[in-house]
Amino acid sequence: MSLSTAMRIGLTALLLVALDAGIDSAGAQEVDAREIVRRANDLARGLNSYSTASMQIERPDWSREMSMKSWSLGTEYYLILITAPARDKGQVFLKRENDMWSWVPRVQRAIKIPPSMMNQSWMGSDFTNNDLVRVDSLVIDYIQTVTGEETIHGYETYRIELMPLPEAPVVWGRVVLWIAKTEYFMLRAQYYDEDGELINRLTASEVKLMDDREIPTRLVMEDVKKPGHRTIMVTESVDFHIDVDDAFFSQQQMRTVR
């Protein structure tokens, strides 16, 4: 074999290796946006969880605080107990598959919350009923697309745009999320109406170890259209692996849970 022939063969081999490497690199760079959103939801919720949290609702001329306990089983079962202040203590919210109820102690009855009210304010806050108990909506009701990358609070994040599926039972015409690439927790979210106008902004911070994982423990939901209107939710403790089954999430439990 002549030297020139050997060189040609060698160059060809190098080009093939480089091409293969380029293909592998391109494949590695492909990102499954839906999977990222799903993992972020799973991280924050856990499979079976129990948590305690506080909520502060702020308005230009007043503010109020609440504390609560919550239990969850998968994505279909939630129970939230208000533990303070005194006037709201004992109120319970139950989601069981597609139905949701509120237990009101002063009238000693469970009131079913119709689907039309799922996007209404929860306890006068800037969160909706859906925000509290239907976190899987961002996975199943939208088409997810990675549209960029940004650094937030020192974390490298994917910027993911969500557009609702046709006929999806959602209020938002568009949602944009910023999810940490490695840690998979959400650090920012923006919610737009059907006309493309920004309505709500959510920011997450104060990443702490909760049970077996690190998650942001401080969430701030702001009403962009109403200056001075915001709600701060702080997670105080979480157990992501409690022993609970669907029998716990019942109307009878609403009357007795403490």
| pLDDT single digits (tens) 207-228 | 999 999 999 999 999 999 999 9
pLDDT at 17: 37
Instruction: Tell me the C-alpha distance between 176 and 189, whole Å.
Output: 6
d(CA 249, CA 258): 13
Percent of the chain at pLDDT above 70?
A: 87
Between 7 and 74, the higher pLDDT residue: 74
Instruction: Look at the block and give the residue holding tokens 């969160």.
Output: 127
- Amino acid found at 200: N
pLDDT of 116-167, one tens digit each? 787 788 999 999 887 776 667 899 999 999 999 999 999 999 999 999 999 8
Residue 235 has pLDDT above 90, yes or no: yes
| Cβ 219 vs Cβ 233: under 8 Å | yes
Q: Which amino acid is at 236?
A: E
**pLDDT value for 222:** 97
CA-to-CA separations, 241 to 49, 96, 205, 244, in angstroms, rounded: 6, 19, 23, 9
pLDDT of residue 46: 78
* pLDDT confidence of residue 197: 97
Residue 102, number of CB atoms within 10 A of its CB: 19
Prediction pTM value? 0.83
Token digits for 109? 């009855």
pLDDT of residue 252: 92
The secondary structure of residue 165, as a DSSP letter, is P
Kind plus residue range of the DSSP H or E element containing 209: strand 198-210
More confident residue, 10 or 252: 252
pLDDT at residue 2, rounded to an integer: 39
- Mean pLDDT lowest among 95-99, 130-134, 184-188: 130-134
Q: Which domains does the chain have, with CATH numbers?
A: 33-256 (2.50.20.10)
Query: How much is the pLDDT for 214?
Result: 95
Asked if 248 and 76 touch (Cβ cutoff 8 Å), the reply is no
Q: Report the pLDDT averaged over residues 36-55.
A: 91
Is the separation of the CB atoms in 23 and 29 below 8 Å? no
At residue 138's C-alpha, the angle toward residues 137 and 140, to 5°, is 60
Distance CA 177, CA 146 (A): 9
- Record the tokens describing residue 110, joined without a space: 């469970």
Mean pLDDT value across the chain: 86
Q: Which residues pair with residue 241 across a beta bridge? A: 48
Could you report the per-residue pLDDT of 4-34, keeping only the tens digit for each?
333 333 433 333 333 343 333 333 346 899 9
